Structure 1
Amino acid sequence: MARNGNTPVLSGVIGNYSESAPQAALEAHFQCVWSNTVRPQGGLSAVVPDGCVDITWIDGELVVAGPDTEVAMSALKPGSTVIGARFRPGAAARWLGLPMSEIVGGRLALQHFWGAQASEIAGRIGDAPSGAARMRTLRECLARLAPGVEAPPPDMGFAFHALRTESAGPGMAVILDRLDVSPRTLRRRCQEAFGYGPKTLDRILRFQRFLNFARGSAEPRLAGLAFAAGYADQAHLTREVRRLSGFSPAAILRQYRG
């Protein structure tokens, strides 16, 4: 289906998106380093909530993409390449020096956190001759900083992965039991690590389960996808997907099918 530059498109569909594993020095802190080369006609990129925080290099500037609770739109230049590094659950607070609840929905210059060092790194990335070289430069710059940053506590990584794979009831019970904390303490820790409490995180990760199933199904049926992702029914799926992405589930399926 043809799309014009004013039609929002999921960020993973608007260009050629790829990920690479972080080098050993970054494994405790980052999930991946990624790049997205925008299609020739450019467009409006719809970045949907995923429970994560990224450092992105876009238009020559390093920007922190804070945790989202709703879709964020970004106009991207035709043929441009955006690169980024995605923090592991709970890691961003140690690198940025503040709880994630303070930057929910924000897009803030990394210079706000790191000062002139961020500008220096952005310049080095911009001087690299290709997208692959820019990704390599970003990894190298972060690896030099990593020894001075404490690794994230494992409890929030456990909470994230438990909710990513289980529905709210079983997942939450497992987390509270394994971490031996009260619901109030878990809520506070999640707000520091992810920007919001475990119920919101669960909603977002359930939505991400739907996206994963939608990408991998040859001829998906919405009722089946709703059940697989952990929604009560198809109507529940539709309400939640619209709230978090601005798209209907059917529209998302059409984008993945091209």
Structure 2
Amino acid sequence: MFPGCRTSVKYMRLSPGLHRYFAGVFLLEIEVDGDGLVEDFVFPDWATFRFSHAPPAVANPGGSAQVGGCQFSVAGPRTQEIYLRTGSVRQWGAVIHPSGWAELIGEPADRYTNGLFDGRSTPAFEKFRPLAETLFGQEADPDGEFKRLTSFFEAVESVDDPAVDKIAKIHIALFDPEIETVAQLGDRVGLSRRTLERLCKRAFGFAPKMVLRRHRFMRSLARFTLDPSLKWIGAMDPTYHDQAQFVRDFHEFMGMTPTQYHQLAKPVSEPMMRERVLYLKERAREWVPDSAWPEDNRAA
């Protein structure tokens, strides 16, 4: 039995200049009764910076070594869940989409796939350490913290990547559920299979086939989170051939079956997913066709 837990997630409106880097920036506040700890499994995602006010959470991606006691952590692009164990915490998160990775980090993303890193000691993230050191004051100040975070990234020196527009086109194409194969993706963005493979590994962290599989799975998980009355058969993306294929993907990406996941308490991941999907749906209306979004607010 876990202690009582109240989770607040707020996605912030970003200036157009920061959309080039981030899929979203959020403030996560977890309040756990007493000195208790709660556990959860965080869904696969793009690379994410997390800046925590003490005490930070302890996370364990896909059974690998834990990173705890770290006020600046970086999760690489993920196809695996992250086990989370935490007490009360305030944390700013910045989800870095693939073209943002190319411009901010400038190193091959597949070197960091499914990894969790201490930003204070990993050379690739050295230029972001000053933000970790100055983001929080003695008292909670969400407006001031957000201003310091955005001002930092607006001034940060980006990497000049000539392929960034192609990477962005690939990312946008993923929101079209009619793109089911690598060949269709290549045709949509006008790239050869070899170039598509190279850019996906470098900026997305994995090969195009895995990029499509993960995006299809996340559409299903998002539908279920927003409307559990659908049950899994109703939330399952229509591009799955059958339920068995979906169950195999679920086990690969989340380390458990859909039934096991449904039975878990999700004090952190459920509100995170819900707010993330609603935020992305609102923002993506600007550049994703309406056909990419299911009706009745069941966001993909």
Common fold by TM > 0.5 = yes
Which consecutive unaligned segments of at least 5 residues does structure 1 have? 6-12
Q: Match of 1:207? A: 217
- Mapped to 1, the partners of 2:100 and 2:195 lie a distance apart of 18
- Mapped to 2, the partners of 1:80 and 1:136 lie a distance apart of 20
1:1-258 residue pairs with structure 2 within 5 A? 4=2, 15-40=7-32, 41-50=36-45, 52-58=46-52, 59=56, 61-76=71-86, 78-111=87-120, 112-115=123-126, 117-127=127-137, 129-130=139-140, 132=142, 133-145=144-156, 148-150=158-160, 153-166=164-177, 169=180, 172-217=182-227, 219-226=229-236, 228-253=237-262, 255=265
Q: Deviations over 1:202-239 (max 9, x none)?
A: 1111111011110222511322222x352212222222
Query: Match of 1:129, SS?
Result: coil
> Structure 1 229/250 Cα, relative in aligned 2: closer, same or farther at 3 Å?
farther
> Structure 1 199/87 Cα, relative in aligned 2: closer, same or farther at 3 Å?
same
- Mapped to 1, the partners of 2:146 and 2:71 lie a distance apart of 14
- Mapped to 2, the partners of 1:221 and 1:118 lie a distance apart of 42
Structure 1 vs Structure 2 CA RMSD: 2.8
Q: Which amino acid aligns with 1:122?
A: A
> Structure 1 200/131 Cα, relative in aligned 2: closer, same or farther at 3 Å?
farther
- Mapped to 2, the partners of 1:90 and 1:48 lie a distance apart of 21
Q: Which amino acid aligns with 1:237?
A: F
Q: Deviations over 1:224-255 (max 9, x none)?
A: 222x3522122222221121012332344455
- Mapped to 2, the partners of 1:162 and 1:253 lie a distance apart of 30
Query: Match of 2:72, SS?
Result: strand
Q: Deviations over 1:177-217 (max 9, x none)?
A: 23332212211110001111111111111111011110222
- Mapped to 1, the partners of 2:242 and 2:6 lie a distance apart of 29
- Give me the TM-score of the superposition, normalised by structure 2: 0.71
1:19–1:33 Cα contact (<8 Å) kept: yes
Size of the aligned set, in residue pairs, is 243
- Give me the TM-score of the superposition, normalised by structure 1: 0.81
Which consecutive unaligned segments of at least 5 residues does structure 2 have? 57-69, 272-300
Q: Deviations over 1:64-98 (max 9, x none)?
A: 2101121122322x221221111233221321131
CA drift at 1:27: 2.1
- Mapped to 2, the partners of 1:36 and 1:233 lie a distance apart of 36
